Amino acid sequence: MTIATLTRQSYRRRESVRQPLRAAEFFAGIGLVRLALEKHGWDVVFANDIDSDKLEIYKANFDSTDFKLCDIHNLSADDIPTCELFTASFPCNDLSIAGAWEGLNGKESSTFWGLIRILKELGRLRPPLIMLENVVGFLQANGGKDFETALLALNKLGYIVDAFILDAVHWTPQSRARLFVVAKNDCGNSTNKMAMVCEARPESLAVFINAHQHIHWDLRDLPKLPRPKLRLRDIVEDLPDDDTHWWSRDRAEYFFGQLSKRHLMAARLMIGQKKYQYATAFRRVRHGKSMAELRTDGIAGCLRTPRGGSGRQILFKAGKGKYQVRLLTARECARLQGAPDEYVIDVPLNQALFGFGDAVCVPAVGWIAKNYLTPVASMFNSRKTLPMLF
């Protein structure tokens, strides 16, 4: 075999050998970001969260050897292995009305700065990609100043940024819009082109981008989002009428009595149908009175953590002249987040509801991995082929 043939073979081998795409997830919760990434070939090599209840669910589904249970402010850069991607679904409480709009300086959402500190400490070992996830309220918090501040902090570390909004309803029957930011190493590719309104960049986001051209943007063209297919009936567990999850007749009648005239009319129409239909409901305080409000379009409301009664989503089943009422089960919540039925839920209901209420929609993150993270990370990774000459 000639030297030329050996050389050609070595280069072919060199082209085929790539380091695996590795990720570290911060604010890992119950691991649904990991679930999505691993479905698309990523290797999650580190995870961190402060909540031991969520870790209990995480451990039932993943190898938790590399999970560090602590406040992100107590993490050191030395704790984290080299990765191509950091993900961070940092707490949203202070970025919404629930947290009185305290913003990035609030008690919980200020953990964002813990991530920034770690990135600073890593220096040249920083990952080429970062993905942030939070509520859409992040865009408006403190008049947009918090979002601007966060993006400029990433710019200062040498990242160019992109942003888009995905609603879980494109993949599961849950109304759950979330704001995503992808930050990439600036290799001189910053475009700062004007944002066009599209499904993933609605007008509110496009206006923000176009009004903040001092931020170093790099907007990736995104494919159309999938058309919603699933409805509430597709994820509901078929529980027998005498199952203990169903409320007692007295409790169900009390709920029925909390419906306003408009929602009561909708409920009666459902009861009169020849087949069972499903709706979800939340309790709201209207004019100082607790009311129940039905959603009858086949889409569940946004899952929340059960802080107070209004956070618990109710299922209303009606038809054939009768109705039943109960809370959504943990498995139904898992399905609304796109987790497969193989996902283990071996904890009390309230603990599960907290986990899923704080989690992400698995197929939405999978869509990002397929259409954004993997292609971009592979581009970075191609520059780091292993030095294998022979």
DSSP 8-state symbol, 335: H
Q: What values do phi and psi take at 45, rounded to 5?
A: -110, 0
Check whether 10 has a pLDDT greater than 90.
no
Residue 384 confidence (pLDDT): 54
Q: Percent of the chain beyond pLDDT 70?
A: 85
Note the pLDDT tens digit of each residue in 161-189: 999 999 999 999 999 999 999 999 987 66
Q: Rounded CA gap, 204 and 182, in Å? A: 18
Residue type, 259: L
Tell me: pLDDT of 205 over 80.
yes
| CA atoms within a 13 Å half-sphere pointing along the CA-CB vector of 304 | 18
Cα separation, 232 vs 342, whole angstroms: 20
Please enumerate in sequence order all residues whose Cβ is within 8 A of that of 150, keeping only pairs 6 or more positions apart, or say none: 104, 112, 132, 138, 181
Q: Considering the domain 3-228+355-384, what is its CATH architecture?
A: 3-Layer(aba) Sandwich (3.40)
Mean of pLDDT values over 19-29 = 93
Residue 323 near residue 277 (C-beta atoms within 8 A)? no
DSSP designation for 369: I
Q: CA 177 to CA 259: how far, in whole Å?
A: 26
Q: Which residues contact 252 (CB under 8 A, 6 or more apart)?
A: 246, 323, 324, 325
In this prediction, residue 18 carries a pLDDT of: 58
Q: b or e along 13-46 (b: 16 or more beta carbons within 10 Å of the residue's beta carbon)?
A: eeeeeeeebbbbbbbbbbbbbbbbbbeeebebbb
- The candidate with the shortest Cα–Cα distance to 164, out of 225, 96, 228, is 225
Does residue 97 register a pLDDT over 70? no
Q: List the chain domain ranges.
A: 3-228+355-384, 238-328
Question: With 80 as the cut, is the pLDDT of residue 225 above it?
Answer: yes
Please tell me the predicted confidence (pLDDT) of residue 6.
39
Instruction: Give the model's pLDDT for residue 20.
Output: 81
Q: What are the start-end ranges of the E strands in the chain?
A: 22-26, 43-49, 67-69, 85-88, 129-135, 159-167, 177-185, 277-286, 289-295, 314-319, 322-327
Please report the pLDDT score of residue 193 as a whole number: 78
Cβ-in-10-Å burial (0-12, 13-18, 19+) of 157 comes to: middle
- pLDDT single digits (tens) 328-340: 999 999 999 999 9
* 259 backbone φψ class: left, alpha, beta (φ>0; ψ -120 to 50): beta
Average pLDDT over residues 129-143: 93
What sign results for the dihedral spanned by CA atoms 192, 164, 365, 225?
negative
Q: What is the pLDDT of residue 301?
A: 95
